[in-house]
Structure 1
Amino acid sequence: MYSELVAELRRRDAELAAYLVAVAEKPLRFEGDSANAHSAHNHEHLFGLEAAASRHGWVDTGLRTRFAEAVLNHWQARLRGMVPYQAQGFRLYVYEAMVMTVSAVAETAEGFPYPGLPKHVDHPREVARRYAKESGFDLISAAPVSPEDILKTVARNNGSISKPTAQALGVQVGELRKWIEWLGLGDQINALRKRHKRRPAQFRGEEHLPEHSYLIYERRLPAGR
């Protein structure tokens, strides 16, 4: 499924194909005993997929579903060669956030890694369906600025997230921090800050955001199978 979808997307939108490969091949880490910490490193908010949806009407529920399944299938193949697989097993997720999100965690005593009010579903398409244009569930439009604009503006301001950066984006400082957290940009912002020799900023992770209800699909991979 993964290779076939990559080939199809290269014919239809090379940028989206490259994005699929980047997500599917992203480094995965499973350090420590906290599944939520694993997810904090390994999750990917699929903003690139939604950006493609704004360009193409054919990025619909079916394509979103195939995209998420392709990522999970490729991750599953990769995970079989990773040390935790033999001893612990893994859990793969597709869940509802600002945009559809994929994640991978190693099995730990913590079990299910996420807070809030999850509603478990049987197939990724049930999550993908929430982002169909006809559903009115276009959360990305609620953000006053795009993730790309935030990252570009912070980079132009040498990693600063203070008043000049916020003003350049047309928001208040507190609002900028809120959207960095909700859009899952904390790690990228701190990478920019490190590049400019600034101290890392403290952002709330998903485990500390206000409790909310969301759809989530879980795929369990028992150890050694």
Structure 2
Amino acid sequence: MRSTEDWSRAGGVIIALLAAGVSALVLMPRMLGLATGPEVEVITWLKRTESDGLTLRVPGVAEPLQGQVHHFARITVDVAPGGERAVAWATLDFKGRLGRTEVSSLGVERVPFVRRSREWVPENLAAPRLAAVVGLLEARRKALEAGEPEALRSLLAPGAPADVGGGEELERLLSLSKRRYRVEAWYVRLERDDALASELWRLEGDLPSQPVDDKGQRQLSLIRREEEFFFSPGLM
């Protein structure tokens, strides 16, 4: 029959084994990361967002771009000399919402990563090009609704003509009083150096002769300069 001392010794052994197991669970992912290298860590980080969810801060927009479902595929990772920075290239299939606007995107994403506290994390956003495109589209929508030609002109590609590129349609829109310009959906195709966006829009307001409530769909072309996007050739 075991004595009280025997039971105490056995309990101490069990507690030590449990503590060792917990430590192994905590340290194992980091140990595996060191063993497999930055490429696997970066890919694992991106793929984990598919179950954890993806929320993006859009430049110049108060509310976030909230993902509903997304998928990273064809991921390749370029590690910079020194092993502290990397860039992940991937295709991203994304569906989500910016407020009341549906956003759907498919195409090429470039995600810079940095090494912080032994872990690889995005330098800024997990989908910076998608966020930049949506930010530009929303800036255009707000400038159209506010009737601000100068703000619209700033969204055109450098070197574009001074005309904001909207023609009679833009003139009519800017002539409305009580103007409301809403977007039901943006469908985006992202390439390496440019993007194409299909916009489902609704325009409401008043002309001197009648009220206006129009709906439609248009294609917008965007080009990339560094990591920013601009409209080219026009805004409408």
Same fold (TM over 0.5): no
TM-score normalised according to structure 2 size? 0.23
Greater fraction of residues in helix:
1
What TM-score do the two structures reach when normalised by structure 1?
0.24
Q: Which structure shows the bigger proportion of residues in strand conformation?
A: 2
Bigger RCO of structures 1 and 2 (CA < 8 A, at least 6 apart)? 1
